[in-house]
Amino acid sequence: MAVISIIIPAYNEIDTIGQLLSRVENSSLPKGIVKQIIIVDDFSTDGTREYISGLQSSHILLLQDRNLGKGAAVRAGLKAAIGDFIIIQDADLEYRPEEYGRLLAPLLEGSADVVYGSRFKNGLDGTKTAWWHYFVNRFLTWFSNIMTGLELTDMETCYKMLSQKVVSDIGPQLVSDRFDIEPEITARIAKAGYRIMEVGISYEYRPFDKGKKIGWRDGLAALWAIIRFNLAARRT
């Protein structure tokens, strides 16, 4: 029996957390794989914290004592993860839990150590995004590829499926608290020489009036993180 740990960082997601959890719980997996669901509340103030605290389930609930950011929530979740495979799942509805099997397949076949779900690589029907979001993500991915030597199409994707070996190796090194966790993970994976594969996934962009939180400052932070973590990796 193998385990997949699903880390769900959540901050003020009361409108979507219930539906998201239902879809995660009901998502199908290959035979012989069970789920460990880890919800990390990043000090929500809209009722999300109370909602997950009231759940009658076997999920692991981690409550941050102050708002620290997505990266900090992911790092907390990684410490609690016991799975043979680990994936990060945003608490909104931009990504589809029904596609876990697509990301798991290369790991189960032994053809990859890490699988990224790319929104821009043969994306499935229903993939939608804003034009500025598309170009910013493509630019950051292009710059990251220059620094890492990889050939990714979507470095910023939330859907990163990692083997336990990779998490045990790079997890203790992670330091990012906010959305710069994405380029940091990629830089550390590249430095360690793990095999990364991309598969196309579905994606439906959530606008700011629906609760999207990443902004232009996070784009600048990601740019600096690409430089910072790749240069640091080269020195070690």
pLDDT band at 125 (very low <50, low <70, confident <90, very high): very low
Angstrom distance (rounded) from CA 15 to CA 152: 32
Q: Give how many domains the chain has, as a whole number.
A: 1
Instruction: Assess contact for 11 and 44: CB atoms under 8 A.
Output: yes
Per the model's pLDDT, the better-predicted residue between 86 and 216 turns out to be 86
Tokens of 227: 């430089």
Higher pLDDT pick, 131 / 35: 35
User: Residue 127: pLDDT band by 50, 70, 90 thresholds?
Assistant: low
Mean pLDDT for the chain?
A: 91
Helix (H) or strand (E) holding 75: helix 70-80
| Domain containing residue 138 | 2-235
**pLDDT tens digits for range 168-197:** 999 999 999 999 999 999 999 999 999 999
pLDDT tens digits, 33-45: 999 999 999 999 9
* DSSP conformation class of 11: S
- Dihedral angle computed from the Cα positions of residues 56, 4, 119 and 171, in that order, rounded to the nearest 10 degrees: 100
Average pLDDT of 147-164?
96
pLDDT, residue 131, reads 64
Q: Among all chains, which residue has been given the structure tokens 């740990």?
A: 5
Q: How confident is the model at residue 226 (pLDDT cuts 50, 70, 90)?
A: very high
Greater model confidence, 124 or 57:
57
Cβ 35 vs Cβ 60: under 8 Å: no
pLDDT band at 71 (very low <50, low <70, confident <90, very high): very high
At residue 213, the pLDDT reads: 57
| CATH number of the domain within which 64 lies | 3.90.550.10
10: helix, strand or coil: strand
User: What is the reported pLDDT for 235?
Assistant: 46
Whole-number pLDDT of residue 204 = 85
Mean pLDDT of 62-91: 97
pLDDT value of position 136: 87
pLDDT given at position 209? 54
Which pair of tokens denotes residue 66? 């102050």
Give this prediction's pTM.
Answer: 0.91
The answer to whether the CB of 166 falls within 8 A of the CB of 114 is: yes
